[in-house]
Amino acid sequence: MGAMPRKVAEEERTPSPSAPPGLPSGRPLGDEIRRRVAHDVRASLNTIAGWTEIARQENTDDAMRGRAVDTILRHVRQASRRLDDAMDLWRIELGALPMHPVPVHVPAIVRAAVAQVDADARQLRPSWRLTFDSEERYALADRLRLQQALAALLAHAAMHVPPGGVVTIRIEMRDSYLAIHIDDGGPTMSTEVALLVFGAAHEPDSAITPGRRFDAGLVLARELLAIQHGSLLPASDGTSGMEVRLPGLADAPAAALEPDEVSVPSRVQLRGIRVLVVDDERDAREALEGILHFHGAIVHSAASVADALRVIEGETLDVLLADIAMPGRDGYDLIRTIRTKKNPLPAAAVTAFTGDEDRARALEAGFQVHLGKPMQPERLLSTVLRLANREQI
C-alpha cells in the first residue's frame, strides 16, 4: 500500500507517511499494515491446512470432523475479510472508493452489523448489550460502508471480549454528532497499536500495559468513517472502548435507508430452478454445482464460453452463474453475446474481482448481479431464488 491512507478531515491527517514513534524498524504505516495483513492471511491458511488434514483422516470422528469444517469456514471468512480490508484501504488511499451519503437509520445498521459478526464468530459466541438513548437516531452516511466499518469494529470486539463477557454498544446524540460507543471489556491497547489505529493525535499514555494486537480492520473502519466526515476515537474514560462519531440528524428524515433483509432459501424453494454454472476451474465449478444440487436446483455446467453457449442454445434455463476470468473468451464476452441475441436470461457474475469498479463493469456488460468470491452460501442461494423469480435485485 505504501503511503498512509488518505484522510478527509484535516485535523486527523498525519504530517507524513512515516511511521508513528514506536513502530518497529521505522516502517511506513502502509507497509506495516500490509505486513500484518499478510501475516493474518498466512496464519488463517495454516489453520485451514491443519484442520483439512484432520478432517481427511479415517479415524476422525463426526464431532471432530464437524469442528474441522466450522473452523475452516471461519478462517476462510477471516482471510477473505483481511484481503478485502487491504484492497479497500488501497482504494481509499487512491481516492477511488465511492461513497453515497444518505440519511440512514443507525440502530438498524448497528443490529445488521451485529448479525453479520454473529454469523462469522459462532465459535466465539459473544454476548451483546445494545443501549440506545432513542430508537429514532439517524445520521448522514453511506449505508453499506457504515455497516462495513461497524462490522469491522464489532468483529474486533468479539475477538477480545473476556470469556463470559459482554460487548456493550451504546448510541447517543451529542450536540451535532451521533456517538456510538463500543466496549468489549478486554485488555487495553498497547501504545504501538493505539498509534497505528488512532494516529499520533490520540497518543495514549506510554504506561499502558501491552494488550491486544494490531487489527487492520480497525484502520479500515477509521478510514471508512473519515471519508464520511466521521471519526474513530479511543474511549475518553481510559477503558478498552472505542467511540464512533457521525454527522447526526436532529430530525427523522422522510425516508431513511435500512439494511436489506437477506432471505435464506430452503431446499424446497430452489426445487426445479434450472441453473447454468460457468467456470473454467473445476473445483470452483463443482462446489457451486454441489451447493445448488443440495438445495434442489437442476444444474447444468460449462467450463468455457463456447460450452456455455451450446448449453444455452439447447436447454431451457432460469439463471446463469458465470465466472469472469476465464482463458480465451471471458465472462464479459459471454454475457454480451447472450444480450446481443436478445436473450433475457437472468445472470449473476461470480468472480474474485470484487472492487466497485468490477461490479460496475459487470452490471454494464449485462449481468443483473455481481457476487464476489468467496461468497456466503446464503447470499448465493438468495440471489438464485430472486433471479429465477424475476424479482428486483
Which tens digits make up the pLDDT trace of 16-61?
A: 333 333 334 444 556 667 777 787 888 888 989 999 999 889 888 9
Mean pLDDT of 340-356: 89
pLDDT at 349 > cutoff 90: yes
Would residue 256 count as lying in a domain?
no
Average pLDDT on 185-205 reads 70
Say if residue 101's pLDDT is above 90.
no
The whole-number pLDDT of residue 88 equals 81
> Lowest mean pLDDT: which of 103-112, 122-131, 201-210, 271-280?
201-210
- The model's confidence at residue 204, banded by pLDDT at 50, 70 and 90, is very low
- pLDDT tens-digit map of 357-385: 888 899 999 999 998 888 777 788 888 98
- What range does the domain containing 332 cover? 267-388
| Residue 47 or residue 5, greater confidence | 47
Which pLDDT value is given to residue 392? Answer: 41
Q: Do 201 and 274 share a domain, yes or no?
A: no
Query: From CA 275, how far away is CA 365, in angstroms rounded?
Result: 20
In angstroms, the CA 303 to CA 327 distance is 10
Q: What CATH number is associated with residue 351?
A: 3.40.50.2300
- Confirm whether 335 is domain-assigned: yes
Strand pairing of 231-234 and 274-278? Answer: unpaired
138 with 241, same domain: the answer is yes
Is a pLDDT exceeding 80 seen at residue 265? no
Regarding whether 374 and 313 lie in a shared domain, the answer is yes
pLDDT of residue 139 exceeding 50, the answer is yes
238 to each of 164, 205, 230, 337, how far by Cα in Å?
A: 22, 10, 21, 61
Q: Within this chain, do residues 220 and 338 fall inside the same structural domain, yes or no?
A: no
Residue 5: inside a domain, yes or no? no
| Domain co-membership, 166 together with 289 | no
Give the integer Cα–Cα distance in Å for 187 and 26. Answer: 26
Statement to judge: residues 314 and 202 lie in one domain: no
pLDDT tens per residue across span 229-246: 999 998 766 566 899 999
Q: Tell me the pTM.
A: 0.62
97 — pLDDT class (breaks 50, 70, 90) = confident
Domain boundary among 94, 128, 158: 94
Output the domain CATH number for residue 222: 3.30.565.10
* 139 and 56 in a common domain: no
| Whether residue 197 is found in the same domain as residue 135 | yes
Together in a domain, 109 and 219: yes
Please indicate, yes or no, whether residues 87 and 109 belong to a single structural domain of this protein: no
* Residue 260 falls inside a structural domain: no
Is residue 14 over pLDDT 50? no
Last residue of a domain, one of 29, 61, 94: 94
In a domain, 2, yes or no: no
State residue 42's pLDDT score.
87
Q: Average pLDDT over the chain, rounded to whole?
A: 80
Q: Confidence band (pLDDT; 50, 70, 90) for 254?
A: low
365 shares its domain with 286? yes
Q: Is residue 255 part of a domain?
A: no
Question: Residues 239, 166: one domain?
Answer: yes
Domain count for the chain, please give it: 3
Instruction: Tell me whether residue 182 is in a domain.
Output: yes
- Domain end marker among 61, 94, 127: 94
